[in-house]
Structures are given as structure tokens and as C-alpha cells.
């Protein structure tokens, strides 16, 4: 006879605290959003995030941080300590899909801020240190301009050996159309901005960045375009912003725009990707660059030329460097101290697109907008003179 067994009471499982469950859920979401950001589809979930969480909700802030949507003081502290104010996107290039329509071109921003609009003076090289007028700003360290005594100055960050003098003996092989657009002005990091002052205050979207195009690097592009208009240089100015709300993938997005412009305007030979540099010490000190043009103090300009040193195909890099050296020579002749040494980089920065492509860094985080606007005018004048000599005769 089968003996009946007494049922044993099952011990109730220990319940996981609700707080731990919540943290585990948030952690899983953070991992998911990081994965989505890494593969470049995070924008598709931004609208869902906005609808699901309040801006003041703690969970929303955590998820926005994971997706790079930080703002305000929280964003500033993170950027300052993690990135040191010198965030780069080196090596982040990927094959971009060509689009059929160019990126949107906005109406020129209307700036009402006063700045120097006098003649473009072409003085001899100064012998005394310039006066900056910013000695009362303790967080900005002022640096006197330094420049090489040689004809060409290059900071070579690659494994390549470059003979600038020999390269300059080769033909430039750039022919610009007399009337159709030959130059594209674009801003991969269109949110970049300068040191705010009383005349140029803006609402930051990130440290030294703003979506207000009156105060961002796009305003610098407008100044370059203005000089090109005066000198009769046909150009296209793309005023779209490619680094916001997501900084990651900005070069891929701007490359798509470049390819679409080249398809629509095959006469484009020169692509000027205009940026603002970032000079910040390990202790958080913000630096500025200065040049003395006659009686006027302004920021300095640095050209960055990419190569194929990273292993990516780039057949135009020597032509781009030859073009940059030509501009450096012209700037040194017209506006001594304006041009910093050319930075030769391992990475392409979309410069494989044309034989006249470059990054142009106008000033840096320690400069004011007015100082950068002046530098932009001088750079544009020197560039326009070189481009005018490259126009086809018929």
C-alpha cells in the first residue's frame, strides 16, 4: 500500500526589492541605448524618448546622457572632465551612402553685433607683442603668436616624409570655373562657438557650443562668404548643423552632404570645412591664439590636412597639402602671424572628396567671436586672391 506523503510547504522566494529592479531596468536600457548609438541609429529613438520621459525626470536625464543628449550644467561638467574640451572624431570615418539632394541651406543669420569692418590692412610683420585687452580674464591664458622662420611650416603627425619646397614646385592642377560654384563652405561641427563676452552672449547647447547660428562657427563661414562675394568667387555655403543632437557620426553626415553637392555642382573643386579649434590645458585652463594685423588684434588660423596614413584610401592628400601650402604662403605674405603651422593628420576628414579640400580652424575656445570674425576676413581675402588666380580664362 502506497504510503501517502505529507506535502511540504514551499518556501516563498525572496522578493527582489523594487529599487534594485528599477536600477537593473535602467542599466539594461543604458546598454541598449549605447549599442544603438554605436551603430548610428540613435536618432530614431529620440522622439520615443521625448514622448516617454519628462525632461525633468531622473530616468530621462540618465538615458539622455547615454545617448549624448546632455544639456545645461550637467552636460558642461561631464564634457569638461571627460573630454577636456578637445573632443575629436579621428578615425570615426565610415563608408557613407550618397544622397540625391543637398543638405538644407538656411538663410544667412542676421548678426547685429558690432565688430571691426575697416580695410584689410597688409602690414609688415610686427616686432612687438600685441595687446589683447583680455588681461582681466583669469581663466584665459594669452599666447603670443609664434611662427617658423622657414617659408613653410608643417606639424607632421604622420609617418610620411614631406618636402614642402619640392611639393610646391609641382603644379597645383586646380582650375576653377569663372561663374559656376567652385567652392563649398561647410561646417561638420556647426555648433562650435567661442568664448562669450558682453557683446556676444549665447545659450550654450554644450560647452563652447550653441545652436544659435549668429554666434557659432556658421557665423564665421558667413564672413568668409561675404569676402568671396566681394572678390567674385562663386561658392555654396551649407549652414546645416551636423554635430547636434549627436556629435558621433558628424563626419559621415557632412560627407553625405559634400557628395550630394558635388553631384549637383560638379564644378566644385575646393571644400573648406570651417571649424573652431579647442586649446585647453590638463588643469582646465582655456587658451587663445592671437595675431597682430597692423593695429588690429585677431585670432589665428590653422589648416588641417588629412592623409591616407590611417589605411583609408585618399589619393588627393598631396594635392590638398599643396593647396594649403599655397594659402599659407599667401597669408604669410599679406598677413604675417595669421597662419599657424599646417597640421598634417593621419586621418582623412572627408578630404578625399576633392583635390582642394581642407579643415580650417579659425581661432579657438579662448578667442571671442569678434577676434575670429577678423581672422576669417583675412583668411578669406588671402584665399580669394589664390582662387582668383586659378580661374579658367574662358
Rounded CA-CA distance 365/276 in Å is 7
Alpha-carbon separation of residue 250 from 33, 187, 227, 244, 349 (angstroms) = 18, 10, 27, 8, 10
The residues, ordered by sequence, that sit 6+ positions from 16 with a Cβ below 8 Å of its Cβ are none
pLDDT for 18-64, tens place per residue? 667 777 777 777 676 666 555 545 444 444 444 444 444 555 544 44
Of 255, 315, 284, whose CA–CA distance to 97 is shortest? 255
Rounded CA-CA distance 384/239 in Å is 20
pLDDT for 280-314, tens place per residue? 888 989 999 999 998 999 999 999 999 999 999 99
pLDDT of residue 53: 45
Q: Which residues of 353-388 are buried (b: 16+ CB within 10 A; e: fewer)?
A: bbbbbbbbbbbbbbbbbbbbbbbbbbbbbbbbbbbe
Partners of 303 in beta bridges: 360
Would you place residue 248 in the very low, low, confident or very high pLDDT band (cuts 50, 70, 90)? very high
Cis peptide before 322 (omega within 30 of 0): no
Question: Percentage of the chain with pLDDT > 90?
Answer: 56
Would you place residue 371 in the very low, low, confident or very high pLDDT band (cuts 50, 70, 90)? very high
Rounded CA-CA distance 382/210 in Å is 28
The SS3 of residue 292 is: strand
Cβ atoms of 259 and 99 closer than 8 Å: yes
Rounded CA-CA distance 197/14 in Å is 60
Q: Counting Cβ atoms within 10 Å, is residue 24 exposed (0-12), middle (13-18) or buried (19+)?
A: exposed
The residues, ordered by sequence, that sit 6+ positions from 18 with a Cβ below 8 Å of its Cβ are none
pLDDT at residue 73 tops 60: no
> How far apart are the two ends of the chain, measured CA to CA in Å?
114
Instruction: For CATH 3.40.630.40, list the domain ranges present in the chain.
Output: 140-389
Partners of 156 in beta bridges: 344
Rounded CA-CA distance 169/285 in Å is 42
pTM of the model: 0.67
The number of angstroms, rounded, from the C-alpha of 153 to the middle of its chain's C-alpha atoms is 22
The number of angstroms, rounded, from the C-alpha of 122 to the middle of its chain's C-alpha atoms is 28
Rounded CA-CA distance 13/11 in Å is 6
pLDDT at residue 176 tops 50: yes
**Mean pLDDT score of the chain:** 76
Domain 140-389 belongs to what architecture? 3-Layer(aba) Sandwich (3.40)
Amino acid at each position: 500500500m502506497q504510503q501517502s506523503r505529507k506535502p511540504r510547504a514551499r518556501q516563498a522566494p525572496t522578493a527582489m526589492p523594487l529599487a534594485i529592479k528599477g536600477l537593473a531596468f535602467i542599466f539594461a536600457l543604458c546598454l541598449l541605448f549605447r549599442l544603438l548609438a554605436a551603430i548610428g541609429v540613435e536618432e530614431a529613438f529620440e522622439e520615443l524618448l521625448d514622448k516617454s520621459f519628462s525632461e525633468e525626470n531622473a530616468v530621462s536625464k540618465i538615458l539622455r546622457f547615454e545617448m549624448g543628449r546632455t544639456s545645461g550644467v550637467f552636460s558642461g561638467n561631464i564634457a569638461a572632465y571627460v573630454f577636456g574640451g578637445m573632443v575629436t572624431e579621428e578615425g570615426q570615418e565610415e563608408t557613407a551612402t550618397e544622397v540625391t539632394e543637398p543638405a538644407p541651406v538656411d538663410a544667412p543669420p542676421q548678426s547685429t553685433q558690432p565688430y571691426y569692418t575697416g580695410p584689410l590692412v597688409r602690414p609688415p610683420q610686427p616686432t612687438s607683442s600685441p595687446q589683447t585687452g583680455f588681461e582681466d580674464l583669469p581663466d584665459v591664458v594669452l599666447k603670443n603668436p609664434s611662427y617658423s622662420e622657414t617659408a613653410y611650416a608643417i606639424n607632421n603627425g604622420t609617418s610620411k616624409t614631406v618636402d614642402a619646397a619640392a611639393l610646391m614646385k609641382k603644379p597645383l592642377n586646380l582650375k576653377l570655373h569663372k561663374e559656376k560654384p567652385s567652392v563649398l563652405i561647410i561646417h561638420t561641427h556647426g555648433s562650435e562657438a567661442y568664448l562669450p563676452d558682453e557683446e556676444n552672449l549665447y545659450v550654450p547647447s554644450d560647452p563652447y557650443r550653441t545652436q544659435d547660428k549668429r554666434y557659432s562657427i556658421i557665423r564665421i563661414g558667413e564672413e568668409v562668404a561675404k569676402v568671396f562675394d566681394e572678390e567674385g568667387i562663386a561658392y555654396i555655403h551649407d549652414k546645416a548643423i551636423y554635430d547636434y543632437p549627436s556629435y558621433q557620426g558628424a563626419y559621415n553626415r557632412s560627407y553625405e552632404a559634400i557628395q550630394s553637392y558635388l553631384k549637383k555642382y560638379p564644378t566644385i573643386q575646393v571644400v573648406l570645412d570651417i571649424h573652431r579649434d579647442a586649446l585647453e590645458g590638463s588643469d582646465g585652463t582655456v587658451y587663445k591664439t592671437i595675431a597682430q594685423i597692423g593695429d588690429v588684434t585677431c585670432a589665428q588660423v590653422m589648416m588641417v590636412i588629412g592623409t591616407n596614413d590611417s589605411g583609408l584610401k585618399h589619393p588627393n592628400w598631396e594635392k590638398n597639402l599643396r593647396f594649403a601650402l599655397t594659402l599659407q604662403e599667401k597669408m604669410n605674405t599679406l598677413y604675417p602671424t595669421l597662419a599657424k603651422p599646417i597640421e598634417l593628420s593621419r586621418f582623412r576628414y572627408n578630404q578625399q572628396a576633392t583635390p582642394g579640400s581642407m579643415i580650417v580652424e579659425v581661432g579657438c575656445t579662448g578667442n571671442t567671436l569678434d577676434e575670429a570674425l577678423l581672422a576669417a576676413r583675412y583668411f578669406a581675402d588671402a584665399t580669394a586672391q589664390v582662387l582668383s588666380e586659378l580661374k579658367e580664362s574662358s
